[in-house]
Amino acid sequence: TPLQPLIDIVPSNFFHSLSNNGLMLQIIFFAIFFGVCLLFIPTDKSKPVLNFVDGVNEVFLKMVDIVMQAAPWLEMILGKL
């Protein structure tokens, strides 16, 4: 049907969509929908969720930083093998 692409954007199982790279559009849709819903609830209720997301973001940024700093050393070590 003509509406099937729109139906396919909505994830039926969020965790299945996370584990399948072909379903990335479903994850993007969920993230946008989640963010819009956060905008419609009072700030005092959404603050713990926002703090959690900010904390997870900081952890991921630190992980990327560590990998980027270790990359030259790993390249040197693996290049000798």
pLDDT in tens, 35-80: 999 999 999 999 999 999 999 999 999 999 999 999 988 888 888 7
Q: In the predicted model, is pLDDT for residue 18 greater than 90? A: no
Residue 62 confidence (pLDDT): 98
Instruction: Check the CA dihedral 48-54-59-60 and report its sign.
Output: positive
Q: Label residues 26-41 b or e (16+ Cβ within 10 Å = b).
A: beebbeeeeeeeeeee
**Residue 17, Cβ neighbours under 10 Å: how many?**
20
Residue 79 confidence (pLDDT): 80
pLDDT-based confidence at 81, cuts 50/70/90? low
Residue 8 confidence (pLDDT): 85
Residue 70 confidence (pLDDT): 93
